[in-house]
Amino acid sequence: MSNRQAEIAAALDVVPPFADDDALVTEVERRKAFIKQCLQNSGLKVLVLGISGGVDSLTAGRLAQLSVEELRRDTGDNAYRFIAVRLPHGTQHDEQDAQDSLKFIRADEEDTVNIAGSVTGLGEQVTHLQKLSDTRRDFVTGNIKARIRMVAQFAIANANNGLVIGTDHAAEAVMGFFTKFGDGACDLAPLSGLVKGQVRAIANYLGAPESLVFKVPTADLEELRPGKPDEEAHGVSYSEIDAFLHGLAVREEAYTIIVRAFDATRHKRELPLAP
């Protein structure tokens, strides 16, 4: 392990590889305990999370549902509940995956907020967008989508006196692969420190369908490239990112890409600058 690998892994509180099945189960229980403690410390009883159809929101959503069920059982308070929210932009090309995720999660409540109107309305008012090339405007609009989704989730949480769950984990955090104040904005992030393979392992342990556990990850924010794979955007595979974070040797090119991404996106992982 290089000094930079060790430094970055420590900064992101990366969880070591699971030694065996017992270690995986222990980590699942630790994550549920964290979710329950966050609710109890806040004095609130509702959790909210957008479900995209990917393994990250599927895993966080199922952990959230299990956590509130345990709180209801242990406290006798049936006010604890989880709201799973679909946040499509128009018609989502992999909507069936999102619906299959909802079936697996079995949330106490499901809701849908189509963000297309809000994104279009805002885009029409921001004249600076009209000056951009089609490709650049599509990218900026993708970040608008992520931030509108954040607004919708917090609105639902506010209306129900609840907390918003985020799905960021170490393999995304190291690449800065989230929208600042968009999907990076939340009250609690129960997948923090896990690499992508560990998220998949937890989803598999929880009984998620293999088609969702091993689905090609995509942020799906660009209209010109719907379903664009995360790994294409990264320029490096998740298996290499995971290996890097766990201190294993990776290709020199992959090492350079990951370190450069971590350094360039540092601002996303820190509080706003202040004098």
pLDDT tens digits, 97-107: 999 999 999 99
Domain assignment of residue 119, yes or no: yes
Give the count of domains, the chain: 1
What's the predicted TM-score (pTM) here? Answer: 0.94
- The tens digit of pLDDT for each residue in 65-91 reads 999 999 999 999 999 999 999 999 999
Is 20 or 232 the better-scoring residue by pLDDT?
20
CATH number at residue 24: 3.40.50.620
Tell me if 237 sits within 8 A of 231, measured CB to CB: yes
Q: Is 218 annotated as a binding residue?
A: yes
The pLDDT score that the predictor gives to residue 232 is: 83
Q: What is the pLDDT of residues 201-231, one digit of tens each?
A: 999 999 999 999 999 887 667 777 777 787 8
> What are the angstrom distances between the C-alpha of 99 and each of 104, 244, 270?
9, 33, 34
Q: Has 187 been labeled as part of a binding site? A: yes
Task: Answer yes or no: is 172 a known binding residue.
Answer: yes
Q: What is the pLDDT of residue 219?
A: 67
Using CA atoms, how far apart are residues 107 and 83, in angstroms rounded to an integer? 6
Q: Is the pLDDT of residue 5 over 70?
A: yes
CA dihedral over 260, 261, 263, 264, signed as positive or negative: positive
Task: Identify the active-site residue in 97, 168, 172, 240.
Answer: 172
* 168 in a structural domain: yes
261 in a structural domain: no
Which pairing describes strands 109-112 and 162-164: parallel, antiparallel, or unpaired?
unpaired
Query: How many C-beta atoms surround the C-beta of residue 28 within 10 A?
Result: 18
In a domain, 112, yes or no: yes
Residue 194 lies in a domain: yes
| Residue 129 covered by a domain | yes
| Residue 24 is assigned to a structural domain of this protein | yes
Query: What is the percent of the chain where pLDDT is above 90?
Result: 90
Residue 201's nearest CA partner among 84, 83, 236, 191 is 191
Domain that holds residue 158: 18-227
What per-residue confidence (pLDDT) applies to 222?
Answer: 74
pLDDT of 217? 82
CB within 8 Å of 152: residues ≥ 6 apart: 50, 85, 87, 113, 115, 118
- The residue ranking higher by pLDDT, 161 or 216, is 161
The verdict on whether residue 51 carries a ligand-binding annotation is yes
Verify whether residue 240 is a known catalytic residue.
Answer: no
Residue 176 clears pLDDT 80, i.e. is over it: yes
Q: What secondary structure does DSSP assign to 182-194, as a single string?
A: TTT--SB-TTTT-
Residue 25 lies in a domain: yes
Distance, in Å, from the CA atom of 164 to the CA atom of 54, rounded to the nearest integer, reads 18
Give residue 231's pLDDT.
Answer: 81
Per-residue pLDDT of 41-56, as tens digits, reads 999 999 999 999 999 9
| Catalytic residue of the set 27, 56, 183, 230 | 56
Across the chain, how many H-helices and E-strands are there?
A: 12, 4
Task: Round the average pLDDT of the chain to a whole number and report it.
Answer: 95
133 is in an annotated binding site: no
56 annotated active-site: yes
Region of poorest pLDDT, from 8-17, 172-181, 224-233: 224-233
Give the model's pLDDT for residue 93: 86
